[in-house]
Structure 1
Protein backbone atom coordinates (compact mmCIF):
# COMPACT_ATOMS: atom_id res chain seq x y z
CA UNK A 1 0.00 0.00 0.00
CA UNK A 2 1.28 3.45 -0.86
CA UNK A 3 2.30 5.37 2.23
CA UNK A 4 -0.37 7.94 3.12
CA UNK A 5 0.32 9.24 6.63
CA UNK A 6 -1.68 11.64 8.76
CA UNK A 7 0.14 14.97 8.89
CA UNK A 8 0.40 16.87 12.17
CA UNK A 9 1.50 20.50 12.03
CA UNK A 10 2.46 23.04 14.66
CA UNK A 11 4.53 26.19 14.72
CA UNK A 12 6.81 24.53 17.27
CA UNK A 13 6.64 21.87 19.95
CA UNK A 14 3.12 22.28 21.29
CA UNK A 15 1.42 20.14 18.67
CA UNK A 16 3.31 17.16 20.04
CA UNK A 17 0.96 17.15 23.05
CA UNK A 18 -1.92 16.66 20.61
CA UNK A 19 0.08 14.17 18.53
CA UNK A 20 0.66 12.06 21.64
CA UNK A 21 -3.08 11.88 22.33
CA UNK A 22 -3.86 11.09 18.69
CA UNK A 23 -1.46 8.13 18.69
CA UNK A 24 -3.05 6.84 21.90
CA UNK A 25 -6.51 7.01 20.30
CA UNK A 26 -5.43 5.89 16.81
CA UNK A 27 -2.40 3.60 17.15
CA UNK A 28 -0.85 1.86 14.18
CA UNK A 29 -1.35 4.60 11.59
CA UNK A 30 1.55 6.35 9.86
CA UNK A 31 2.18 9.92 11.01
CA UNK A 32 4.42 12.81 9.97
CA UNK A 33 4.96 15.71 12.36
CA UNK A 34 6.16 19.07 11.06
CA UNK A 35 7.29 21.75 13.51
CA UNK A 36 8.04 25.14 12.00
CA UNK A 37 10.38 26.04 14.85
CA UNK A 38 12.60 28.31 12.77
CA UNK A 39 9.70 30.74 12.28
CA UNK A 40 8.04 30.31 15.66
CA UNK A 41 6.32 31.71 17.58
CA UNK A 42 3.32 32.45 15.36
CA UNK A 43 1.27 34.17 18.07
CA UNK A 44 2.27 37.77 17.35
CA UNK A 45 2.39 37.52 13.56
CA UNK A 46 -0.18 38.91 11.12
CA UNK A 47 -3.03 36.92 9.57
CA UNK A 48 -1.36 36.94 6.16
CA UNK A 49 2.01 35.76 7.47
CA UNK A 50 0.47 32.97 9.55
CA UNK A 51 -1.60 31.84 6.57
CA UNK A 52 1.48 31.86 4.32
CA UNK A 53 3.64 29.87 6.75
CA UNK A 54 0.86 27.41 7.59
CA UNK A 55 -0.08 26.77 3.97
CA UNK A 56 3.57 26.23 3.03
CA UNK A 57 3.88 23.56 5.73
CA UNK A 58 0.57 21.96 4.78
CA UNK A 59 1.65 21.74 1.13
CA UNK A 60 4.93 20.16 2.22
CA UNK A 61 2.99 17.54 4.18
CA UNK A 62 0.81 16.94 1.11
CA UNK A 63 3.99 16.39 -0.90
CA UNK A 64 5.04 13.72 1.63
CA UNK A 65 1.85 11.81 0.83
CA UNK A 66 -0.45 13.04 3.59
CA UNK A 67 -4.10 13.21 2.45
CA UNK A 68 -5.17 14.54 5.87
CA UNK A 69 -3.41 17.25 7.90
CA UNK A 70 -4.24 18.31 11.45
CA UNK A 71 -3.33 21.86 12.43
CA UNK A 72 -2.34 21.09 16.03
CA UNK A 73 -1.87 24.82 16.59
CA UNK A 74 -4.54 27.20 17.82
CA UNK A 75 -3.02 30.26 16.17
CA UNK A 76 -2.88 28.54 12.77
CA UNK A 77 -6.38 27.16 13.28
CA UNK A 78 -7.66 30.63 14.14
CA UNK A 79 -5.89 32.60 11.43
CA UNK A 80 -5.28 30.22 8.52
CA UNK A 81 -7.65 27.23 8.57
CA UNK A 82 -10.71 28.86 7.06
CA UNK A 83 -8.80 30.28 4.09
CA UNK A 84 -7.08 26.95 3.52
CA UNK A 85 -10.36 25.02 3.66
CA UNK A 86 -12.44 27.42 1.60
CA UNK A 87 -9.91 28.57 -0.99
CA UNK A 88 -6.49 26.92 -1.06
CA UNK A 89 -7.64 23.29 -1.13
CA UNK A 90 -9.91 23.94 -4.10
CA UNK A 91 -6.92 24.98 -6.19
CA UNK A 92 -4.48 22.40 -4.77
CA UNK A 93 -6.34 19.11 -4.29
CA UNK A 94 -10.01 19.04 -3.24
CA UNK A 95 -9.69 15.40 -2.18
CA UNK A 96 -7.37 16.31 0.69
CA UNK A 97 -8.48 17.64 4.05
CA UNK A 98 -7.11 20.02 6.68
CA UNK A 99 -8.65 20.08 10.16
CA UNK A 100 -8.00 22.32 13.16
CA UNK A 101 -8.30 22.24 16.94
CA UNK A 102 -10.74 25.06 17.69
CA UNK A 103 -14.05 23.64 16.49
CA UNK A 104 -13.65 20.21 18.18
CA UNK A 105 -12.84 21.99 21.44
CA UNK A 106 -15.72 24.46 21.16
CA UNK A 107 -18.16 21.62 20.51
CA UNK A 108 -17.75 20.18 24.01
CA UNK A 109 -16.11 22.79 26.26
CA UNK A 110 -19.49 23.98 27.55
CA UNK A 111 -20.01 20.56 29.14
CA UNK A 112 -17.24 21.26 31.66
CA UNK A 113 -18.72 24.35 33.30
CA UNK A 114 -21.37 24.59 36.00
CA UNK A 115 -21.28 28.36 36.34
CA UNK A 116 -21.57 28.89 32.56
CA UNK A 117 -18.43 31.02 32.65
CA UNK A 118 -15.23 29.92 30.92
CA UNK A 119 -11.78 31.46 30.68
CA UNK A 120 -9.74 30.97 27.50
CA UNK A 121 -5.95 31.30 27.65
CA UNK A 122 -4.13 31.58 24.33
CA UNK A 123 -1.62 33.44 22.22
CA UNK A 124 -2.22 37.02 21.19
CA UNK A 125 -3.15 35.84 17.70
CA UNK A 126 -5.73 33.33 18.93
CA UNK A 127 -7.32 35.80 21.32
CA UNK A 128 -7.45 38.64 18.78
CA UNK A 129 -9.06 36.41 16.18
CA UNK A 130 -12.12 35.96 18.39
CA UNK A 131 -12.46 32.41 17.08
CA UNK A 132 -13.29 30.85 20.42
CA UNK A 133 -15.86 33.53 21.22
CA UNK A 134 -17.69 32.81 17.97
CA UNK A 135 -17.39 29.02 18.00
CA UNK A 136 -18.37 28.52 21.64
CA UNK A 137 -21.36 30.84 21.20
CA UNK A 138 -22.53 28.67 18.30
CA UNK A 139 -22.63 25.56 20.47
CA UNK A 140 -23.26 27.03 23.93
CA UNK A 141 -25.00 30.43 23.59
CA UNK A 142 -25.65 30.55 27.33
CA UNK A 143 -21.94 30.32 28.22
CA UNK A 144 -19.97 33.50 28.89
CA UNK A 145 -16.40 33.40 27.60
CA UNK A 146 -13.52 35.50 28.88
CA UNK A 147 -10.16 35.61 27.11
CA UNK A 148 -6.61 36.33 28.17
CA UNK A 149 -3.53 36.47 25.96
CA UNK A 150 -0.38 34.97 27.51
CA UNK A 151 2.35 36.22 25.14
CA UNK A 152 5.32 35.13 27.24
CA UNK A 153 4.27 31.56 27.92
CA UNK A 154 5.21 30.06 24.55
CA UNK A 155 8.72 31.64 24.50
CA UNK A 156 9.31 30.39 28.06
CA UNK A 157 8.19 26.89 27.11
CA UNK A 158 9.98 26.77 23.74
CA UNK A 159 13.24 27.85 25.37
CA UNK A 160 12.97 25.40 28.24
CA UNK A 161 12.67 28.15 30.86
CA UNK A 162 9.27 27.15 32.19
CA UNK A 163 10.72 25.35 35.25
CA UNK A 164 12.80 28.34 36.29
CA UNK A 165 11.61 30.44 39.26
CA UNK A 166 11.11 33.48 37.06
CA UNK A 167 8.50 31.65 35.01
CA UNK A 168 6.19 31.41 38.02
CA UNK A 169 5.73 35.17 38.00
CA UNK A 170 4.39 35.18 34.44
CA UNK A 171 2.21 32.14 35.02
CA UNK A 172 0.52 33.85 37.95
CA UNK A 173 0.36 37.21 36.16
CA UNK A 174 -1.91 36.03 33.34
CA UNK A 175 -4.00 33.79 35.60
CA UNK A 176 -4.67 36.70 37.94
CA UNK A 177 -5.73 38.77 34.94
CA UNK A 178 -8.20 36.18 33.63
CA UNK A 179 -9.72 35.53 37.05
CA UNK A 180 -10.02 39.28 37.66
CA UNK A 181 -12.46 39.40 34.73
CA UNK A 182 -14.92 37.20 36.66
CA UNK A 183 -14.73 35.36 39.96
CA UNK A 184 -17.39 32.95 38.61
CA UNK A 185 -15.07 31.33 36.06
CA UNK A 186 -14.99 27.62 36.91
CA UNK A 187 -13.32 26.29 33.74
CA UNK A 188 -10.06 27.36 32.11
CA UNK A 189 -9.36 26.23 28.56
CA UNK A 190 -5.72 25.96 27.55
CA UNK A 191 -6.21 27.23 23.99
CA UNK A 192 -2.59 26.69 23.02
CA UNK A 193 -1.10 23.24 22.62
CA UNK A 194 2.09 24.35 24.39
CA UNK A 195 0.33 25.10 27.66
CA UNK A 196 -0.20 21.51 28.91
CA UNK A 197 3.53 21.49 29.66
CA UNK A 198 2.86 23.96 32.49
CA UNK A 199 -0.58 22.61 33.46
CA UNK A 200 0.53 21.77 36.99
CA UNK A 201 1.82 25.31 37.52
CA UNK A 202 -1.44 26.70 36.15
CA UNK A 203 -3.55 24.52 38.44
CA UNK A 204 -1.44 25.50 41.45
CA UNK A 205 -2.20 29.18 40.85
CA UNK A 206 -5.96 28.82 40.44
CA UNK A 207 -8.76 28.25 42.96
CA UNK A 208 -9.29 24.56 43.69
CA UNK A 209 -12.76 24.56 42.12
CA UNK A 210 -11.51 25.68 38.69
CA UNK A 211 -11.10 22.92 36.09
CA UNK A 212 -8.18 23.22 33.67
CA UNK A 213 -8.91 21.67 30.28
CA UNK A 214 -6.26 20.84 27.70
CA UNK A 215 -7.03 19.88 24.11
CA UNK A 216 -5.09 16.72 23.33
CA UNK A 217 -7.74 14.14 24.21
CA UNK A 218 -10.53 16.33 22.83
CA UNK A 219 -8.89 16.68 19.43
CA UNK A 220 -7.91 13.01 19.32
CA UNK A 221 -11.46 11.83 20.05
CA UNK A 222 -12.79 14.24 17.44
CA UNK A 223 -10.39 12.78 14.86
CA UNK A 224 -11.56 9.25 15.72
CA UNK A 225 -15.14 10.40 15.14
CA UNK A 226 -14.18 12.15 11.89
CA UNK A 227 -12.63 9.00 10.45
CA UNK A 228 -15.69 6.97 11.45
CA UNK A 229 -17.88 9.44 9.59
CA UNK A 230 -15.56 9.63 6.58
CA UNK A 231 -14.57 6.08 5.61
CA UNK A 232 -13.44 7.38 2.21
CA UNK A 233 -10.60 9.15 4.04
CA UNK A 234 -9.99 6.45 6.64
CA UNK A 235 -9.40 3.78 4.00
CA UNK A 236 -6.78 5.97 2.29
CA UNK A 237 -4.57 6.13 5.37
CA UNK A 238 -1.65 3.72 5.61
CA UNK A 239 -0.99 1.66 8.72
CA UNK A 240 2.63 0.71 9.23
CA UNK A 241 3.07 2.29 12.66
CA UNK A 242 5.71 4.73 11.39
CA UNK A 243 6.19 8.12 13.09
CA UNK A 244 8.40 10.72 11.43
CA UNK A 245 9.42 14.09 12.84
CA UNK A 246 10.60 17.13 10.89
CA UNK A 247 11.60 20.61 11.99
CA UNK A 248 12.64 23.81 10.25
CA UNK A 249 15.37 24.48 12.80
CA UNK A 250 18.80 23.17 11.81
CA UNK A 251 19.55 22.35 15.46
CA UNK A 252 17.80 19.00 15.38
CA UNK A 253 19.50 17.83 18.58
CA UNK A 254 17.93 20.71 20.48
CA UNK A 255 14.56 20.02 18.84
CA UNK A 256 14.79 16.33 19.74
CA UNK A 257 15.57 17.13 23.37
CA UNK A 258 12.65 19.51 23.84
CA UNK A 259 10.28 17.51 21.65
CA UNK A 260 10.84 14.41 23.77
CA UNK A 261 9.50 16.31 26.78
CA UNK A 262 6.30 17.24 24.94
CA UNK A 263 5.87 13.83 23.33
CA UNK A 264 6.83 11.86 26.45
CA UNK A 265 9.00 9.58 24.29
CA UNK A 266 12.32 9.84 22.44
CA UNK A 267 12.16 11.88 19.22
CA UNK A 268 14.59 11.79 16.29
CA UNK A 269 13.94 14.56 13.78
CA UNK A 270 15.04 15.56 10.29
CA UNK A 271 15.80 19.13 9.22
CA UNK A 272 13.74 20.77 6.48
CA UNK A 273 14.78 24.27 5.44
CA UNK A 274 12.08 26.91 5.58
CA UNK A 275 13.37 28.01 2.16
CA UNK A 276 12.39 24.60 0.79
CA UNK A 277 8.87 25.07 2.17
CA UNK A 278 8.50 28.30 0.21
CA UNK A 279 9.11 26.33 -3.02
CA UNK A 280 6.19 23.97 -2.33
Structure 2
Protein backbone atom coordinates (compact mmCIF):
# COMPACT_ATOMS: atom_id res chain seq x y z
CA UNK A 1 0.00 0.00 0.00
CA UNK A 2 1.37 3.41 -0.96
CA UNK A 3 1.32 6.23 1.62
CA UNK A 4 2.71 9.80 1.92
CA UNK A 5 6.10 10.82 3.22
CA UNK A 6 5.69 12.27 6.71
CA UNK A 7 7.35 15.56 7.60
CA UNK A 8 7.44 16.58 11.26
CA UNK A 9 8.43 19.83 12.96
CA UNK A 10 7.77 21.41 16.32
CA UNK A 11 5.90 24.19 14.54
CA UNK A 12 6.12 26.05 11.25
CA UNK A 13 9.81 25.99 10.38
CA UNK A 14 9.72 22.56 8.78
CA UNK A 15 7.54 24.05 6.06
CA UNK A 16 10.68 25.69 4.64
CA UNK A 17 12.11 22.18 4.28
CA UNK A 18 8.88 20.75 2.87
CA UNK A 19 8.82 23.52 0.28
CA UNK A 20 12.22 22.38 -0.98
CA UNK A 21 11.20 18.70 -0.88
CA UNK A 22 8.25 19.51 -3.12
CA UNK A 23 10.49 21.52 -5.42
CA UNK A 24 12.91 18.61 -5.92
CA UNK A 25 10.47 15.69 -5.57
CA UNK A 26 7.07 17.13 -6.61
CA UNK A 27 5.42 13.83 -7.53
CA UNK A 28 5.45 12.45 -3.98
CA UNK A 29 2.65 12.92 -1.47
CA UNK A 30 3.54 14.61 1.85
CA UNK A 31 1.83 14.68 5.24
CA UNK A 32 3.08 17.54 7.41
CA UNK A 33 2.60 17.58 11.19
CA UNK A 34 3.42 20.67 13.28
CA UNK A 35 3.39 20.23 17.06
CA UNK A 36 2.37 23.86 17.58
CA UNK A 37 0.57 23.17 20.87
CA UNK A 38 3.92 22.31 22.51
CA UNK A 39 6.33 24.55 20.64
CA UNK A 40 9.02 25.79 21.14
CA UNK A 41 11.20 22.70 21.53
CA UNK A 42 14.45 24.68 21.66
CA UNK A 43 14.25 25.46 25.38
CA UNK A 44 12.93 22.06 26.52
CA UNK A 45 14.89 19.19 28.10
CA UNK A 46 16.26 16.25 26.13
CA UNK A 47 13.70 13.95 27.78
CA UNK A 48 10.74 16.17 26.89
CA UNK A 49 11.82 16.70 23.28
CA UNK A 50 12.36 12.96 22.89
CA UNK A 51 8.90 12.20 24.31
CA UNK A 52 7.15 14.73 22.06
CA UNK A 53 9.10 13.75 18.94
CA UNK A 54 8.47 10.03 19.44
CA UNK A 55 4.76 10.70 19.88
CA UNK A 56 4.57 12.69 16.65
CA UNK A 57 6.69 10.24 14.64
CA UNK A 58 4.57 7.34 15.91
CA UNK A 59 1.41 9.18 14.86
CA UNK A 60 2.76 9.62 11.32
CA UNK A 61 3.65 5.93 11.19
CA UNK A 62 0.12 5.11 12.30
CA UNK A 63 -1.17 7.15 9.35
CA UNK A 64 0.79 4.79 7.12
CA UNK A 65 3.85 6.95 6.36
CA UNK A 66 6.72 4.60 5.49
CA UNK A 67 9.26 7.40 5.88
CA UNK A 68 9.29 10.36 8.27
CA UNK A 69 11.56 13.39 7.92
CA UNK A 70 12.22 15.10 11.26
CA UNK A 71 12.49 18.62 9.81
CA UNK A 72 13.46 20.16 13.14
CA UNK A 73 17.03 20.64 14.27
CA UNK A 74 16.22 20.48 17.98
CA UNK A 75 14.26 17.24 17.59
CA UNK A 76 16.97 15.79 15.34
CA UNK A 77 19.59 16.70 17.94
CA UNK A 78 17.75 15.47 21.03
CA UNK A 79 15.58 12.58 19.86
CA UNK A 80 16.45 11.14 16.45
CA UNK A 81 19.24 8.75 17.45
CA UNK A 82 17.18 7.11 20.20
CA UNK A 83 14.18 6.73 17.91
CA UNK A 84 16.28 5.17 15.16
CA UNK A 85 18.29 2.84 17.37
CA UNK A 86 15.97 2.03 20.29
CA UNK A 87 12.35 2.58 19.28
CA UNK A 88 12.14 1.51 15.63
CA UNK A 89 13.24 -2.09 16.31
CA UNK A 90 10.54 -2.37 18.98
CA UNK A 91 7.85 -0.83 16.79
CA UNK A 92 8.71 -3.02 13.83
CA UNK A 93 10.30 -6.38 14.79
CA UNK A 94 13.10 -7.28 12.44
CA UNK A 95 14.56 -3.77 12.43
CA UNK A 96 17.96 -3.24 13.99
CA UNK A 97 19.24 0.33 14.19
CA UNK A 98 16.71 1.25 11.54
CA UNK A 99 17.86 -1.38 9.04
CA UNK A 100 15.38 -3.98 7.75
CA UNK A 101 15.81 -7.71 8.07
CA UNK A 102 15.49 -9.60 4.81
CA UNK A 103 11.88 -10.22 3.94
CA UNK A 104 10.53 -7.87 6.61
CA UNK A 105 7.87 -5.51 5.23
CA UNK A 106 6.69 -2.91 5.69
CA UNK A 107 9.81 -1.08 6.75
CA UNK A 108 9.73 2.27 8.51
CA UNK A 109 12.49 4.87 8.49
CA UNK A 110 13.12 8.17 10.24
CA UNK A 111 15.61 10.71 8.86
CA UNK A 112 16.76 14.03 10.30
CA UNK A 113 18.36 17.25 9.13
CA UNK A 114 21.69 17.30 10.96
CA UNK A 115 23.55 14.41 9.36
CA UNK A 116 22.86 15.37 5.71
CA UNK A 117 24.00 18.92 6.48
CA UNK A 118 27.15 17.78 8.28
CA UNK A 119 28.09 15.55 5.36
CA UNK A 120 28.53 18.46 2.94
CA UNK A 121 29.04 21.65 4.96
CA UNK A 122 32.81 21.51 4.40
CA UNK A 123 32.25 21.90 0.66
CA UNK A 124 31.06 25.48 1.11
CA UNK A 125 33.89 27.06 3.08
CA UNK A 126 37.17 28.37 1.72
CA UNK A 127 38.61 29.56 5.03
CA UNK A 128 37.76 26.40 6.95
CA UNK A 129 35.79 28.45 9.50
CA UNK A 130 32.03 27.86 9.80
CA UNK A 131 29.49 29.56 12.03
CA UNK A 132 26.34 27.80 13.19
CA UNK A 133 23.22 29.79 14.14
CA UNK A 134 20.69 27.69 16.04
CA UNK A 135 18.34 27.38 19.01
CA UNK A 136 19.62 26.85 22.54
CA UNK A 137 18.62 23.19 22.38
CA UNK A 138 20.57 22.48 19.21
CA UNK A 139 23.65 24.35 20.42
CA UNK A 140 23.77 22.69 23.85
CA UNK A 141 23.34 19.23 22.31
CA UNK A 142 26.62 19.77 20.39
CA UNK A 143 25.21 17.48 17.70
CA UNK A 144 26.63 19.57 14.89
CA UNK A 145 30.08 19.56 16.44
CA UNK A 146 30.00 15.77 16.72
CA UNK A 147 28.59 15.10 13.25
CA UNK A 148 30.73 17.62 11.35
CA UNK A 149 33.85 16.27 13.03
CA UNK A 150 33.14 12.87 11.48
CA UNK A 151 33.37 14.28 7.96
CA UNK A 152 35.45 17.46 8.26
CA UNK A 153 37.58 17.26 11.41
CA UNK A 154 39.78 20.07 10.14
CA UNK A 155 37.01 22.69 10.25
CA UNK A 156 36.78 25.35 12.95
CA UNK A 157 33.15 25.45 14.08
CA UNK A 158 31.68 28.26 16.18
CA UNK A 159 28.09 28.05 17.44
CA UNK A 160 25.76 30.87 18.42
CA UNK A 161 22.39 30.35 20.09
CA UNK A 162 19.73 32.84 18.94
CA UNK A 163 16.79 32.39 21.33
CA UNK A 164 14.88 35.46 20.14
CA UNK A 165 14.84 34.65 16.46
CA UNK A 166 12.06 32.05 16.42
CA UNK A 167 9.65 34.21 18.49
CA UNK A 168 10.36 37.18 16.22
CA UNK A 169 9.56 35.13 13.14
CA UNK A 170 6.44 33.49 14.55
CA UNK A 171 5.10 36.84 15.73
CA UNK A 172 5.44 38.31 12.27
CA UNK A 173 8.34 40.63 13.15
CA UNK A 174 11.00 39.11 10.90
CA UNK A 175 10.75 41.85 8.28
CA UNK A 176 10.27 44.74 10.70
CA UNK A 177 12.99 47.16 11.88
CA UNK A 178 12.64 45.93 15.46
CA UNK A 179 14.20 42.60 14.48
CA UNK A 180 17.40 44.27 13.25
CA UNK A 181 18.85 44.64 16.74
CA UNK A 182 18.48 40.95 17.63
CA UNK A 183 19.83 39.76 14.29
CA UNK A 184 22.86 42.04 14.40
CA UNK A 185 23.53 41.25 18.05
CA UNK A 186 24.10 37.56 17.34
CA UNK A 187 26.00 38.09 14.11
CA UNK A 188 28.38 40.53 15.82
CA UNK A 189 28.84 38.17 18.74
CA UNK A 190 29.62 35.25 16.44
CA UNK A 191 32.06 37.15 14.21
CA UNK A 192 33.83 38.65 17.22
CA UNK A 193 34.55 35.12 18.40
CA UNK A 194 35.82 34.02 14.99
CA UNK A 195 36.43 36.77 12.41
CA UNK A 196 37.62 34.16 9.87
CA UNK A 197 34.15 32.66 9.35
CA UNK A 198 33.14 32.68 5.68
CA UNK A 199 30.14 30.33 5.88
CA UNK A 200 27.07 30.58 8.12
CA UNK A 201 24.77 27.61 8.54
CA UNK A 202 21.18 28.43 9.44
CA UNK A 203 20.68 25.41 11.71
CA UNK A 204 17.04 26.19 12.43
CA UNK A 205 14.38 25.79 9.78
CA UNK A 206 12.78 29.11 10.78
CA UNK A 207 15.87 31.15 10.05
CA UNK A 208 15.60 31.32 6.22
CA UNK A 209 12.89 33.93 6.79
CA UNK A 210 15.62 36.21 8.16
CA UNK A 211 17.81 35.91 5.07
CA UNK A 212 17.11 39.45 3.80
CA UNK A 213 18.25 40.94 7.12
CA UNK A 214 21.24 38.61 7.36
CA UNK A 215 22.42 39.51 3.86
CA UNK A 216 22.08 43.21 4.64
CA UNK A 217 24.25 42.86 7.74
CA UNK A 218 26.86 40.31 6.67
CA UNK A 219 30.04 41.19 4.76
CA UNK A 220 29.93 40.15 1.12
CA UNK A 221 32.45 37.34 1.57
CA UNK A 222 30.26 35.45 4.05
CA UNK A 223 27.67 33.09 2.57
CA UNK A 224 24.58 31.79 4.34
CA UNK A 225 23.46 28.18 3.92
CA UNK A 226 19.83 27.15 4.37
CA UNK A 227 19.08 23.49 4.99
CA UNK A 228 16.02 23.00 2.78
CA UNK A 229 17.88 22.42 -0.51
CA UNK A 230 20.40 20.16 1.26
CA UNK A 231 17.69 18.00 2.82
CA UNK A 232 15.73 17.79 -0.43
CA UNK A 233 18.73 16.56 -2.41
CA UNK A 234 19.64 14.16 0.39
CA UNK A 235 16.13 12.69 0.31
CA UNK A 236 16.27 12.30 -3.47
CA UNK A 237 19.55 10.42 -3.13
CA UNK A 238 18.18 8.32 -0.28
CA UNK A 239 15.10 7.23 -2.24
CA UNK A 240 17.29 6.35 -5.21
CA UNK A 241 19.45 4.15 -2.96
CA UNK A 242 16.45 2.58 -1.19
CA UNK A 243 13.86 1.56 -3.78
CA UNK A 244 12.14 -0.60 -1.15
CA UNK A 245 11.20 2.61 0.68
CA UNK A 246 10.52 4.65 -2.46
CA UNK A 247 8.12 1.97 -3.70
CA UNK A 248 5.99 2.39 -0.56
CA UNK A 249 5.62 6.18 -1.02
CA UNK A 250 2.58 7.38 -2.93
CA UNK A 251 3.02 9.73 -5.87
CA UNK A 252 -0.10 11.75 -6.60
CA UNK A 253 1.28 15.20 -5.80
CA UNK A 254 -0.86 15.61 -2.65
CA UNK A 255 0.05 17.77 0.37
CA UNK A 256 -1.77 17.54 3.69
CA UNK A 257 -1.14 19.70 6.75
CA UNK A 258 -1.89 18.86 10.38
CA UNK A 259 -1.29 20.68 13.65
CA UNK A 260 -1.70 19.89 17.34
CA UNK A 261 -2.99 23.44 17.96
CA UNK A 262 -5.56 25.68 16.28
CA UNK A 263 -5.97 24.78 12.57
CA UNK A 264 -7.13 28.31 11.81
CA UNK A 265 -4.06 29.88 13.41
CA UNK A 266 -1.75 27.33 11.79
CA UNK A 267 -3.27 27.97 8.38
CA UNK A 268 -2.84 31.73 8.85
CA UNK A 269 0.79 31.54 9.97
CA UNK A 270 1.87 28.68 7.72
CA UNK A 271 1.45 30.71 4.55
CA UNK A 272 4.42 32.83 5.65
CA UNK A 273 6.66 29.74 5.52
CA UNK A 274 4.94 27.79 2.76
CA UNK A 275 4.52 30.71 0.39
CA UNK A 276 0.87 30.07 -0.45
CA UNK A 277 -2.43 29.48 1.42
CA UNK A 278 -2.63 26.41 3.67
CA UNK A 279 -5.68 24.60 5.05
CA UNK A 280 -4.80 22.45 8.07
CA UNK A 281 -6.51 19.78 10.13
CA UNK A 282 -6.09 19.08 13.84
CA UNK A 283 -4.47 16.18 15.70
CA UNK A 284 -5.24 15.48 19.36
CA UNK A 285 -2.89 13.25 21.35
Secondary structure of 1:241's partner? coil
Give the corresponding residue for 1:35. 34
Give the corresponding residue for 1:153. 165
Give the corresponding residue for 2:101. none
User: Counterparts of 1:160 and 1:40 in 2: how far apart (Å)?
Assistant: 16
* Alignment of 1:264 onto 2:263: no
User: Counterparts of 1:158 and 1:65 in 2: how far apart (Å)?
Assistant: 30
User: Counterparts of 1:247 and 1:199 in 2: how far apart (Å)?
Assistant: 26
Q: Is the 8 A contact 2:128 2:154 kept in 1?
A: yes
* Alignment of 1:185 onto 2:184: no
Q: 2:260 aligns with which of 248, 251, 268?
A: 248
Q: Deviations over 1:65-87 (max 9, x none)?
A: 10100000000000000000000
* Alignment of 1:194 onto 2:210: no
Q: Deviations over 1:32-89 (max 9, x none)?
A: 0000011001001000000000000001101111010000000000000000000011
Give the corresponding residue for 2:250. 238
Comparing 64-73 with 258-267, which one deviates more in the overlay? 258-267
TM-score (structure 1 length as normaliser) = 0.95
Give the corresponding residue for 1:6. 5
Q: Deviations over 1:127-149 (max 9, x none)?
A: 00101111111111111100000
Q: 1:119 aligns with which of 112, 122, 131?
A: 131
User: Counterparts of 2:218 and 2:40 in 1: how far apart (Å)?
Assistant: 26
Shift of 1:3: 4.1
TM-score (structure 2 length as normaliser) = 0.94
Secondary structure of 1:183's partner? coil
User: Counterparts of 2:239 and 2:209 in 1: how far apart (Å)?
Assistant: 28
Q: Is the 8 A contact 1:119 1:188 kept in 2?
A: yes
Give the unaligned 5+ runs of structure 1: none
User: Counterparts of 2:247 and 2:108 in 1: how far apart (Å)?
Assistant: 13
Secondary structure of 2:273's partner? helix
Shift of 1:165: 2.1
Give the unaligned 5+ runs of structure 2: 96-106
Give the corresponding residue for 1:16. 15
